[in-house]
Amino acid sequence: MPAHRSPQPDLEKSDHQPDTTHCAVVRVSDEARNEHPGRFKPTSDDDACFKLWNVYISQAHEYDKALLEGWKGDMEGMILFSALYSATLTALIVESYKKLQLDPADLTTSLLTTISLQLASISNGTTTTVGLPGASFKPMTSSLICNMLWFLSLTLALTCSLLATFVQQWTRDFLHKTTMRPSPVVQARVLAFSYFGLRRFGMHTFVDVIPILLHISLFLFFAGLVAFLLPVNLPLTILMACVLFIFMLVYLALTLLPLLSLDAPYRTPLSDLFWRITNGFAVRKHGLSDDDLSLTEAMIEKSLRKSPDRDRRCMEFTMKSMDHDTELVPMFEAVSEAITSPQASGARLKNFEIVAPLIQSPNPEKNMISRIQHFISVSGSLAGDPQHRVRNMQLCLSTLKSLAWLVIRHGIENVGSDYNQYPVFWFQRDLLELLSSSPSLPKGYLISTIAALRTSRVQGFRRCIGWVDEVMSSRQKTCTERLGEVRSIFTYLSREDIDWTSGKFTHHFDQLDSTLQNACISGMSETDAAVLVQRAQEHIAQLMDMSRWKASLISVLSQFLSEAMAAGLVPIETDMTFTLIHSSIPTLDVFDQSLDIEEDEAQTTYLLQSTSPFPASVPPELFALVFRLLFSTKRALHLPGAVESRVVLYKYLYYCTEDQRNLLVKSDTACRLEECIFLDLRSDGARGLANWCMAGLNKLYVSLGFGESTVFPRLLSFAKGIFGFIPTASTSFTQHIWWFLNSTDTEFILCNDIIRKLEHLLRGYDISDSHDISSFITPTMDDIHALGQRLLTALPVPDCPLPCPSDVYQHWVTDIQGYVLSMHLLIATKYINSVTKSFVDRRYGDWINIRNSIINYQGHIYETVQLHFAKSVMELMSLRPWNYPKESSKSDLFHNHMWCLSRNWCWVTDIESAKILEEAIQFHKNGANFNGMVWYEQACLDRCMEVIREADAVEEPPVSQ
């Protein structure tokens, strides 16, 4: 095909002929298509912007539609007005223009008068000269002015009609052009081309000029009317002149008012002109920063600035306009979304000022809390779908909870704010009573909502006591004035608001109330008032004690968890609610044990002892929070039911799944689980406690990372603590069947950590800086000494000879590695013995890490350790573990782990150990069910035979002399 051939199809070509030209068209690039002088066709790149241009079109069309429809409506109004106005004006002009010429009737009268005069002069014999009638006629100035003004006015009115008709035609043309092509790319480009052309040629200004011309025409009409009436009647002229003056003043006021107040609804076409003239001054007056803003843009910018009073009036109007409770459901949902935040705080404090009028209004019709309360109270009598009713109740509770969170967070952030600014109690007691007595409410939402409301009330109660304290501490008022003000504040509070158990708080509250009652005596002297003030301050100091408020929050937390467990479910946003409660009073840490509370106040923390230890009965999230609540006071480990609480804890650790146990451990950031076990190891412990303590210890090791290649700091710290208790533990623990296993696990954790640290030494350290290497070796050597004194009592630990030459240091590294791996093998021996002697079919020990730490080791193992290992292997082999089921612990140890401890067993050097291992392997080979060697069992046999041969060669008797 020629390269210059046109890409357009050949119209004369037969339909049956192959269309090679079309093939050429397909191969033409997108760029070439757009460079072609023909019509525009979107390229693939244009098509890729389909959705992007759609977004632009949707936004632009919405703007253009509003703009053009506004123009269209304005033009229609002006056409109608100018038509009526022109008709009226034309009728007046018909009368006024007559005064610009001589009236024919006047001319006839003048002619008759002239004829009469001439006839009279002839009869008298005299001659009279009379000028032609009308020769001296001149129109009055007022008539000239009137007609000139009215004709100008008519011309402008008709011009406005014509221009308005043009605008209507142009807007229709604009819409037609921008919607001709369906392609979003084409439509978007046409729309942008047309709109920016409209802006470039100033059509906005053109449209604005039309009403200005019409208004000028109207002014000309009034002015002409005054001129028209002037020769007719002076009083009427004065009246119309006054009307014109007032009209001009009103027009001027309507023009300037929006410049002074941007929220004014009045404006004229001249308002924009004056705004442009005085733009700089007007912008500064209204506190705006952009000098290029139009009057409309300035009004919008000003309206976007927050106004608490305006927002309050809007919200009050909205609530008041909702007469029926069913109309409130969308409002509840909207409020909840407006104040709920996905962040940790859970509340959008910036929207507090918008919602505050809805919940602090004294008018029940405008108060959202009152409306929600009424909605819930009548929900049982409403007909309709039960599922719809449940959803509405969930929405009500969710809104109440969100409002409570907002109030609590606002109280936290505004601790030092004016006490008079907000009410003490946002949520009244009767609301709590209603929620507690409504069994049909969704429990998951109800429990969290009640907890949030109680927390808000506690926060408000403390705020009120703080208000009282502030007034009593004021030195600017007399004692009598202070007592009077405190009495008025105290009317907000009642003993029924103390919904937590605290004998001490209740006592001082009653005493303060009694003191204030005594202050009501009339005629009390200032001296007596001072005594009462001092007495009241003593009680207030007790009420402000943080311990009392800690007790109140503990009570809220306990009730929250207790109700959740009784319902057998996890409430909505449990963790966030729990955090919100215990952080609701700033500077108060509920879990600070140094802040102690009274015995009656601490009763609510003993929730764990009555909690089921079975995970199926209590959700793991709740159990973790109940356990955390237990340790909010010092009494957690010494309370009367402390043992029962710890038994529940150990049982839960034993029965729960790995994920549930990990959740509990992760939430226990203060390491209280370890603290419980340490406490029991110090005590003699009843038999039942020892059993469950050992089970809990074993499970806790696993959750802390036992079995991982890395020894985590928390696991290491716990293991060191248990290691220190091993020599002093009571017989109720040491005689337990799991004591030996837990002790061995403890030793393995310490040894595994030492091995990981020795790996760093084997990588080579620069020993020229002895201080740096000593800072690493010294704590490691302390751990080796402590473990060696238990496992290798008779063998000395090779001490580090630093400072020393490099070759001496490397020799020490080899020695210490042999010492540590000897302990490691001895621990493995203990695990083998545990499996051999245990009546429970269970494999003990972390054999993966045991094997990985020693499998490639080719150094020295102490002979005593070799002998212990050989004897343990022989004892296991005597049980014929290969005959056990494969899933049994003995078979698993034999087939999968024991013979993987070394690849070549080069560390077997002791002759006695070699003979025992050789005998054990031969016992296996000679067994009736022998199915071949396992893993490196043959290598072990070969090594043992080699050691035995070498020993026999050394022991041959010397040749006699």
Residue 99 has pLDDT above 80, yes or no: no
Sign of CA dihedral 928, 931, 936, 938: positive
According to DSSP, residue 727 is labeled: G
CA dihedral 302, 307, 309, 312 (to 10 degrees): 110
Distance between CA atoms of 160 and 158, rounded to whole angstroms? 5
Instruction: Read off the tokens for 190.
Output: 């046409």
Residue 685 has pLDDT above 80, yes or no: no
pTM given for the model: 0.72
Q: Are 386 and 363 in contact (CB under 8 A)?
A: no
Per-residue confidence at 451, pLDDT binned at 50, 70, 90? very high
Residue 340: φ, ψ to 5°: -90, 130
Q: Which pLDDT does position 25 carry in this prediction?
A: 35
Q: Which pLDDT does position 446 carry in this prediction?
A: 93
Distance between CA atoms of 586 and 411, rounded to whole angstroms? 9
In tens, the pLDDT along 848-892 reads 888 888 888 888 899 999 999 999 999 998 888 888 888 888 888
Q: Which pLDDT does position 17 carry in this prediction?
A: 40
Closest by CA to 824, choosing from 871, 756, 921, 910, is 756
Q: Are 698 and 742 in contact (CB under 8 A)?
A: yes
In tens, the pLDDT along 759-816 reads 877 665 555 555 556 667 778 888 888 888 888 888 888 887 767 777 777 788 888 8
Residue 827 has pLDDT above 60, yes or no: yes
**Packing angle, helices 386-413 and 443-472, rounded to 10:** 30
Q: Are 553 and 588 in contact (CB under 8 A)?
A: yes
Residue 323: φ, ψ to 5°: -80, -35
Residue 396 has pLDDT above 80, yes or no: yes
Q: Which pLDDT does position 403 carry in this prediction?
A: 92
In tens, the pLDDT along 121-130 reads 777 766 655 5
In tens, the pLDDT along 531-558 reads 898 999 999 999 999 999 999 999 999 9
Q: What is the mean pLDDT of residues 659-680?
A: 90
Which amino acid makes up residue 617? S
Per-residue confidence at 135, pLDDT binned at 50, 70, 90? low
Per-residue confidence at 716, pLDDT binned at 50, 70, 90? very high
Closest by CA to 336, choosing from 427, 392, 396, 402, is 402
Q: What is the mean pLDDT of residues 43-50?
A: 55
Residue with tokens 């990588």: 763
Distance between CA atoms of 606 and 519, rounded to whole angstroms? 41
347 beta partners: 340
Residue 10 has pLDDT above 80, yes or no: no
The H or E element containing residue 574 is helix 574-582
Q: What is the mean pLDDT of residues 505-529?
A: 84
Q: Which pLDDT does position 23 carry in this prediction?
A: 35
Helix, strand and coil content of the chain, in percent to the nearest 5, comes to: 70, 0, 30
Q: Which pLDDT does position 363 carry in this prediction?
A: 83
Q: 802-808, long-range: CB within 8 Å, 24+ apart, which pairs?
A: 802/767, 802/770, 802/773, 802/774, 802/777, 803/767, 803/770, 804/767, 806/767
Better-predicted residue by pLDDT, 751 or 111: 751
Distance between CA atoms of 376 and 325, rounded to whole angstroms? 10
DSSP-based three-state secondary structure for 750: helix
Least confident of 182-191, 459-468, 864-873, 881-890: 182-191
Better-predicted residue by pLDDT, 108 or 903: 903
Residue with tokens 């063998």: 795
Least confident of 448-452, 649-653, 740-744: 740-744
Give the contacts of 735 (CB within 8 A, at least 6 positions apart).
none
Residue 101 has pLDDT above 60, yes or no: no
Distance between CA atoms of 668 and 664, rounded to whole angstroms? 6
Residue with tokens 């025409």: 217
Better-predicted residue by pLDDT, 743 or 929: 743
Q: Which pLDDT does position 405 carry in this prediction?
A: 92
Residue 53 has pLDDT above 70, yes or no: no
Q: Which pLDDT does position 421 carry in this prediction?
A: 66
Q: Which pLDDT does position 34 carry in this prediction?
A: 44
Closest by CA to 607, choosing from 568, 569, 571, 649, is 649
Q: Which pLDDT does position 37 carry in this prediction?
A: 47
In tens, the pLDDT along 138-167 reads 666 767 777 777 778 777 778 888 777 777
Q: Are 847 and 897 in contact (CB under 8 A)?
A: yes
340 beta partners: 347
Q: What is the mean pLDDT of residues 829-842?
A: 81
In tens, the pLDDT along 219-275 reads 877 777 777 767 767 777 787 778 778 877 877 887 777 777 777 776 677 777 777
Q: What is the mean pLDDT of residues 627-643?
A: 82
Distance between CA atoms of 259 and 264, rounded to whole angstroms? 9
Give the contacts of 227 (CB within 8 A, at least 6 positions apart).
142, 143, 145, 146, 149
Distance between CA atoms of 283 and 302, rounded to whole angstroms? 10
Which amino acid makes up residue 109? T
DSSP-based three-state secondary structure for 415: coil
How many other CB atoms sit within 10 Å of the CB of residue 19? 13
Distance between CA atoms of 335 and 399, rounded to whole angstroms? 7
Distance between CA atoms of 806 and 802, rounded to whole angstroms? 10
Q: Which pLDDT does position 881 carry in this prediction?
A: 86
In whole angstroms, how far apart are CA 577 and each of 395, 403, 592? 17, 13, 19
Distance between CA atoms of 866 and 872, rounded to whole angstroms? 10
Q: What is the mean pLDDT of residues 637-649?
A: 81
Q: What is the mean pLDDT of residues 592-613?
A: 88
Closest by CA to 190, choosing from 176, 205, 203, 177, is 177
Distance between CA atoms of 295 and 327, rounded to whole angstroms? 37
Q: Are 619 and 651 in contact (CB under 8 A)?
A: no
Better-predicted residue by pLDDT, 361 or 136: 361
Residue 482 has pLDDT above 70, yes or no: yes
Distance between CA atoms of 285 and 291, rounded to whole angstroms? 12
Q: Which pLDDT does position 5 carry in this prediction?
A: 35
**DSSP assignment string, 511-526:** HHHHHHHHTT-TT--H
Q: In the 3-class helix/strand/coil scheme, how is 110-158 assigned residue by residue?
A: HHHHHHHHHHHHHHCCCCCCCCCCCCCCCCCHHHHHHHHHHHHHHHHHH
Distance between CA atoms of 752 and 846, rounded to whole angstroms? 10
Sign of CA dihedral 375, 379, 385, 388: positive
Q: Which pLDDT does position 958 carry in this prediction?
A: 53
Q: Are 921 and 940 in contact (CB under 8 A)?
A: yes
Which amino acid makes up residue 160? C
Instruction: Read off the tokens for 889.
Output: 């612990």
Residue 940 has pLDDT above 60, yes or no: yes
Per-residue confidence at 459, pLDDT binned at 50, 70, 90? very high
